[in-house]
Structure 1
Amino acid sequence: MGIDFNPTFFYHEKAAKLTLSSPDEEIRRFWIRHGQACIRISRYFAEELGQSCVMNIWIPDGYKDIPAARLGPRARFKDSLDQILSIPYDCSKVYVCLESKVFGIGLESYTVGSSEFCLNYAAKNGIISLMDNGRYHPTEVVSDKLQTITPEDFRALAKDFKVTLPERFLYETE
């Protein structure tokens, strides 16, 4: 793998509240174009290095207080991801990953890019679900999340990332 590239949907004046889940179409459109540009940048890295590039998407979107409407931000996030991934790219050169967040300062009650959302979106859209141990609640562990991925998904990951997984890892139930 050549490089792990993060599109950085934070530390910008247009990230003051929400990014890819923003109800403000101008803000959301800015971040969609940013995500599409980052796919092109990832492709450039891959071509120049002669190795694949991982593009890891995660967003800081969420709320400190419990929101009444929880579906709207996720629907907008899904639509934004769909638009970002709609541009043509070579998935053998650019590995798009989606990383969840559990919470952060100011996001204690609701995170748009939750583990459940990101796992399901990645599985349905043929991208990689990136699981970072530092992104889960202290009572959660990645090993529990891995059990939700099918053996076929593990084989695909092992092939793409040249990782050898023992057969017992793929099929053991305990």
Structure 2
Amino acid sequence: MGIDFNPTFFYHEKAAKLTLSSPDEEIRRFWIRHGQACIRISRYFAEELGQSCVMNIWIPDGYKDIPADRLGPRARFKDSLDQILSIPYDRSKVYVCLESKVFGIGLESYTFGSSEFCLNYAAKNGIISLMDNGYYHPAEVVSDKLQTITPEDFRALAKDFKVTLPERFLYETE
């Protein structure tokens, strides 16, 4: 692995409220173009270093309360991710990761990039779900999350890393 590149969808005047899930199309387009540019930057890093580059997408989008419309922001986030990933890039050189978001109890009530959303989006789109043990309940562990991915999805996520999965993991029914 050559470099882990963070596109930084935060600490910017256009990140004051929402980024890839923004209902303001001008703001959302800005962040989509930023994400696409970061894939091109990651490709450049990979080519120059002669090693793969990991690009980790994480957004700060969320609400401090529970909104009436919980589907709209996620639909916009999904559409933004689809547009970012629509540009051509060599998946053997650039590994796009999607990291979920969570904050402490009482600080955020609704996050658009929840663990469930990010894990499912990554599995469906053949990108990597970045799972941080710090984002789960202290009694939960990432290894339990991996077991929820179907063998086909896990193979799709792991194939570029040449991970060999044990046969019992792939075919065990219990």
Distance across 2 between alignment mates of 1:161 and 1:73: 32
CA RMSD of aligned residues (A): 2.0
Q: Would you say the 8 A contact 2:126–2:156 is kept in 1? A: no
- Which TM-score applies when normalising by structure 2? 0.89
Identity %: 97
- Measured against aligned partners, the alpha-carbon deviations of 1:146-169 in whole angstroms (never above 9, x if no partner) come to 111122344444442244444444
Q: Would you say the 8 A contact 1:154–1:170 is kept in 2? A: no
- Measured against aligned partners, the alpha-carbon deviations of 1:59-102 in whole angstroms (never above 9, x if no partner) come to 11001111111111101101100111111111111111111112
| Helix, strand or coil at the partner of 2:129 | strand
Distance across 2 between alignment mates of 1:156 and 1:99: 17
Distance 1:9 1:154, change over 3 A: same
Distance across 1 between alignment mates of 2:121 and 2:152: 17
The runs of 5 or more residues in structure 1 that have no matched partner are none
| Helix, strand or coil at the partner of 2:137 | coil
The runs of 5 or more residues in structure 2 that have no matched partner are none
Most deviating of 153-162 and 66-75: 153-162
Aligned length, in residue pairs: 174
Structure 1 partner of 2:67 = 67
Distance 1:81 1:107, change over 3 A: farther
Distance 1:104 1:55, change over 3 A: farther
Q: Would you say the 8 A contact 1:102–1:137 is kept in 2? A: no
Displacement of 1:115: 0.8
Distance 1:80 1:107, change over 3 A: farther
- Which TM-score applies when normalising by structure 1? 0.89
Displacement of 1:4: 1.0
Distance 1:69 1:144, change over 3 A: same
Within a 5 Å distance, the mapping from 1:27-106 to structure 2 comes to 27-103=27-103
